[in-house]
Amino acid sequence: MPVYLDHAATTAVLPAVVERVAEQMGGLGNASSLHTAGRASRRVVEESRETIAAALGARPSEVVFTSGGTEADNLAVVGTYRRRRADDPSRNRLLVSAVEHHAVLDCVEHLVAHEGARVTWLEVDGEGRVDPGTVRAAIEQQPDDVALVSVMWANNEVGTVQPVREIAAIAHEHDIPFHTDAVQAVGQIPVDFGESGADLLALTGHKIGGPLGVGVLVARRDAALEPLTYGGGQERQIRSGTLDTPAIAGLAVAVDHAVGHLHEHAAHLASLRDKLVHGATAAGYGITVSGPYEVGDVTRRLPGNAHLRVPDCEGDSLLYLLDAAGVECSTGSACQAGVPQPSHVLLAMGVPEAQARGALRLTLGHTSTDADVEAFLAALPAAVERAQRAHRASRGSGR
């Protein structure tokens, strides 16, 4: 069996989730129908909504079901921008961290290209962290033109946890809504929507042992959003579409499990991560860690994230060599896989392009074991040596 170290891309579905989804798929009823079967389906949806809200420190009415994290982020960013712009045409500036997932970056770039938006990219430090003072300075340049501030809760590539509470408070001083992508954070670090001060928060099921194709936008009741889809208006008139009752039921099981087992899970992941990082950096190849790192830390960095930079080689070469040896990992976001360019996250952190190209992202999950880490460390030397030889040969040939 291959060793799977790409849980930030997707993780194994929990057995209890499979059981719950299968149970609901055997039923019948559209949650918007008024007859008995429809009401039964609606009850499952609403009970799931209550479970998710309780786990995330939110009200049930704030939980809006979506098809996943990407739709939730798009609805938050584009929906807020359009509503704010409609209410006040001068609100055309977005403040967005330079290390966001492409679910945020690409819709921001669309708004700039097609809808008159302007963007101020919030710089990060060498660990990938946004300084709240940077946000304050960007707002105070011209506070009356800002439509939205968006900073992810935890980075999907290097695992850096952002000071979301402080940033939200600064945004609110100027009556600006704050959105955070918490897709990677939920289940690894404490996420409390109410305490965070966020107005909008995105999460998805398949990162925490839930089904693919279902997620949530947690949106405060006073969050003003233009819908991106039109039809039945099933979710607070801001998201239309027949609700996927089986997937929603499975998502509730996954969120409840992830939050309920968070502390023991984080400790387990951090232990494996530290073993992996120690073994890789001690191997003698000049391997370094990207982002904040301290043994045992589960607050400044996601406990399941180990992002390594290997000198004098290409990350893609390492990925394929490790894959051939039975170890599955990535060079960055799965959504950008196959794109031969260095990570925008590393470049924003000030990592030179040559170093950024030698990146490996290894992420652990609920099925990860000591044996997985040992298998990676056993396969690493041969992969690095071969990748470095190929790099030297390509440079020598002038390619």
String of DSSP letters for 205-233: STTTT--TT-EEEEE-TT-----SS-SS-
SS3 306: strand
Consecutive H or E run containing 323 = helix 315-324
**Strand spans (E) along 102-222:** 118-122, 146-150, 178-181, 200-204, 215-219
- Supply the pLDDT for residue 391: 85
C-alpha to C-alpha distance for 214 and 251, rounded to whole angstroms: 7
3-10+262-396 folds as: Aspartate Aminotransferase, domain 1 (3.90.1150)
Q: Architecture of domain 15-260 in CATH?
A: 3-Layer(aba) Sandwich (3.40)
C-alpha to C-alpha distance for 16 and 250, rounded to whole angstroms: 8
pTM assigned to the model? 0.95
pLDDT at 334 over 60: no
Burial class (CB in 10 A: 0-12, 13-18, 19+), 236: middle
How much of the chain is helix, strand and coil, in % rounded to 5?
45, 15, 40
C-alpha to C-alpha distance for 103 and 12, rounded to whole angstroms: 22
- Of the pLDDT bands very low, low, confident and very high (cuts 50, 70, 90), residue 396 is low
Query: Tell me: the pLDDT tens digits for 190-203?
Result: 999 999 999 999 99
Q: Which of 107, 313, 329, 335 is catalytic?
A: 335
Query: Tell me: the pLDDT tens digits for 291-326?
Result: 999 999 999 999 999 999 999 999 999 999 999 999
- Of the pLDDT bands very low, low, confident and very high (cuts 50, 70, 90), residue 214 is very high
Query: Tell me: the pLDDT tens digits for 117-130?
Result: 999 999 999 999 99
Domain positions in the chain: 3-10+262-396, 15-260
Give the chain's largest Cα–Cα span: 73
Q: Which two tokens stand for residue 215?
A: 């997620």
Consecutive H or E run containing 264 = helix 262-281
Known catalytic residue at 335: yes
User: Residue with structure tokens 């977005």?
Assistant: 94
CB neighbourhood size of 395 (10 A): 10
pLDDT at 340 over 90: no
C-alpha to C-alpha distance for 172 and 178, rounded to whole angstroms: 8
- Supply the pLDDT for residue 337: 52
